[in-house]
Structure 1
Amino acid sequence: MSDDEREEKELDLTSPEVVTKYKSAAEIVNRALQLVISECKPKAKIVDLCEKGDSYIREQTGSMYKNVKRKIERGVAFPTCVSVNNTVCHFSPLASDETVLEDGDIVKIDMACHIDGFIAAVAHTHVLQEGPVTGRAADALAAANTAAEVALRLVRPGRKNKDVTEAIQKIAAAYDCKIVEGVLSHQMKQFVIDGNKVVVSVSNPDTRVDDAEFEENEVYAIDIVASTGDGKPKLLDEKQTTIYKRAVDKSYHLKMKASRFIFSEISQKFPIMPFSARLA
């Protein structure tokens, strides 16, 4: 077997080594999620929660594959985000942000970890209150959870991406909720967190995706957000963008010395995966 053939085989889930890396990344990111959940308390600063999640992933992955011939990239595949109440997703503030959690908040946590580019992503919704969740908040939680369970069962060889889109909307409607528009579930490959095969949460003229069929040994991150509103995100507060990803298919010709320095730092520290501006 040539080196190219061996490299190609390593990308396939039929390789035990690849499966091991996925499992290891999943174990780490699930522990990181539990850590962040345990720290979600009234008056906790959101930026501190994000830092705890990212730091745990970096520490745990940093202790793996240290004595190998080929350097194994590993670490945070998507920064820890803590999005509260009507903030849809991807809130990972800068160090100067003073936003804190409050009693009764609905907290959406998401993050991802990778080992050698094989990515495990997790998300969870946590409510800051004692006792069971009731009312419309409970409807939204149940709609999202049930839709996710059904989606996981539909992502199977031979099924289509539109099967998932149709099913999750029907489930949300049963709880008198809406699936939030603009949320995409991507196929993931080695070092690719947003692959070409996509499951759109709500099909409309603004977010069309190509029809696709799921195939054996593919990996997907299923991302579902349910709302008691109309499911159409609105810009209520212009939060500064804090998560970026380098466009590896583009070349940059920067004139300013400061720009070249920043780009060099990003290229070295975050060559492919999304990153938080806190760390840049």
Structure 2
Amino acid sequence: MDDEVEAEGEKKKSRRRNKKKETKVDEPESKEKKQTNPPSVPIHELFPTSEYPVGQEVEYDGRMGKQRITSEEKRAIERSKYDDYNDARRAAEAHRQVRKHIQSWVKPGMTMIEICEELERCSRALIGEDGLKAGLAFPTGCSRNNCAAHYTPNAGDPTVLLYDDVTKIDFGTHVNGRIIDCAFTLTFNPKYDKLVEAVRDATNTGIKAAGIDVKLCEVGEAVQEVMESYEVELDGKTYPVKSIRNLNGHSIDAYRIHAGKTVPIVKGGEATMMEENEFYAIETFGSTGRGIVRDDMDTSHYMKNFDAPFVPLRLQASQKLLGTVNKNFGTLAFCKRWLDRLGATKYQMALKDLCDKGILDAYPPLCDIKGCYTAQFEHTIVLRPTCKEIISKGDDY
């Protein structure tokens, strides 16, 4: 009897020991990382398996579309490109979470520098900035009203965001050079809602029209037809919405934001075909003005010419600046604020010298006529062999 009691006691002790062991093993699983508010946890820590959310998948039109989605050959090609897609998806998830934060955080009365620095701080944290392996793909565009693109504040710029502003927030993230180029229009006054709707609709139309073997000019024609079907009433006066004819979307390649093909937003343009596995930034701009932009205001954006020839540099300052650019940005775009952040000083003459020699290209702000308003929406897509993926698609747009 005593032996039976002793044996039963040992069993209970053993069960208790096993229970403790099980509890210890299970503990780490309950400590799954979650995003903070404001966001600060790198995306790769939120997805420990390194499989990032797939964007919106859209079947190609027609009979060929159905054949593509079931083709084993096309699926095999996709598997070989998985790393490229996955890098872009990680960059896209960072973009989505950053813009969600900015959309709820930004308020009239903030300076443009304050807004850009918060957006860039958040982007650097979420993308897990790591030299040229992961980081910001280009400066934060925050072009207001008649200015459509390529404005970011330089140091000391006192510009303040106003309630009546129409601001294009255009920023990019990248992982291993796979760039997400994605933009939205920020407004506070509901009188601009129709303008914003027109451009969002036009961008969605461009995305819908895009596909393998589609001519670029066909995308532009579809965009213009939708964009220019809208009118906007502002302060009792009606304005037609015009596509900005000298702005367009573009193909994207590794570490190359403009990879050679342009996607027009008006009819005409290239009859070149879109091809399998190409990445594109589909972006449209609408204006209540003339629908043409020109260079204006102080330049802030610069980028190394992807095909720049070797040119001997006599100025030591130019050599030093080019070294800084090569090390920190490579062929990705940058701005003066980012040079300041790296501790660069007295670089204005060197910047001009590198631009004059064709090593760097300057990208001044692009503006329509004063008093008009411009809006923009943009997504990055990839023409996968089996379907079209809108990688940067989110709940917001």
TM bracket (short chain): 0.7 to 0.9
Tell me the secondary structure at the aligned position of residue 88 of structure 1: strand
- Contact kept, 8 Å, 1:47 with 1:97, in 2: the verdict is yes
- Tell me whether 1:259 sits opposite 2:314 in the alignment: no
Query: Take 2:307 and 2:219, find their aligned partners in 1: how far apart are those partners?
Result: 30
Structure 2 residue aligned with 1:248: 306
Query: 1:14, 1:144 → 2: CA distance?
Result: 35
Q: Which moved more, 1:144-153 or 1:28-37?
A: 28-37
Partner of 2:149, secondary structure, is coil
Shift of the 143–191 alpha-carbon distance from structure 1 to 2, 3 Å rule, reads: same
Q: Once the 2 structures are TM-superposed, how far is the Cα of residue 14 of structure 1 from its aligned partner?
A: 4.6
**1:201 positional shift:** 2.2
Whole-angstrom distance in 2 between the partners of 1:268 and 1:12: 32
Residue 151 of structure 1 pairs with residue 151 of structure 2: no
* AA aligned opposite 2:181: A
Which residue of 280, 284, 292 maps to 1:232? 292
Separation of aligned partners in 2, 1:215 and 1:244: 29
- Paired position in structure 2 for 1:87: 147
Bigger helix share: 2
SS at the partner of 1:223? strand
TM-score of the two chains, using structure 1 as the length reference: 0.84
Aligned pairs for 1:122-141 (under 5 A) are 122-129=182-189, 133-134=190-191, 137-141=192-196
Tell me the amino acid that sits aligned with residue 248 of structure 1. Answer: F
Within a 5 Å distance, the mapping from 1:60-209 to structure 2 comes to: 60-62=126-128, 73-129=133-189, 133-134=190-191, 137-175=192-230, 176-202=240-266
1:51 aligns with 2:117: yes
Q: Distance in 2 between matches of 1:13 and 1:274?
A: 30
The yes-or-no answer on 1:33 pairing with 2:120 is no
After superposition, the Cα gap between the structure-2 partners of 1:120 and 1:234, relative to the gap in structure 1 and judged at 3 Å, is closer
For the structure 1 residues 114 and 36, does the alpha-carbon distance in structure 2 shift closer, same or farther, using more than 3 Å as the test? same
Gap change, CA 1:14 and 1:185, over 3 Å in 2: farther
Aligned to 2:182, what secondary structure does the other structure show?
Answer: strand
User: Could you list the runs of 4 or more consecutive aligned residues of structure 1 that deviate by over 6 angstroms after TM superposition?
Assistant: none
Q: What TM-score, normalized to structure 2?
A: 0.60
- Measured after TM superposition, the shift of residue 234 of structure 1 is 4.7
CA distance, structure 1, for counterparts of residue 262 and residue 93 of structure 2 = 25
CA contact (8 A) 2:224 2:267 kept: no
Out of 321, 328, 332, the position equivalent to 1:273 is 332
3-state SS of the aligned residue for 2:298? coil
**Bigger Rg over Cα:** 2
CA contact (8 A) 2:142 2:168 kept: yes
CA shift, 1:12, in A, is 6.9
- Distance in 2 (CA, whole Å) between partners of 1:196 and 1:14 is 24
Bigger fraction of residues in strand: 2
Give yes or no for contact 1:111–1:121 (8 Å, CA) kept in 2. Answer: yes
Structure 1: gaps spanning 5 or more residues: 1-10
Aligned residue number for residue 4 of structure 1: none
> Deviation string for 1:257-277 (max 9, x for gaps)?
112111111111111100111
| Unpaired segments ≥5 residues, structure 2 | 1-76, 231-239, 340-397
- Identical amino acids, percent of aligned pairs: 27
Structure 1 distance, partners of 2:81, 2:93, is 19
Higher relative contact order (CA 8 A, sep 6+): 2
Question: Do structure 1's residue 18 and structure 2's residue 59 form an aligned pair?
Answer: no
SS in structure 2 at match of 1:279: helix
Aligned residues between the structures: 253
Tell me how large the CA RMSD over aligned residues is: 2.1
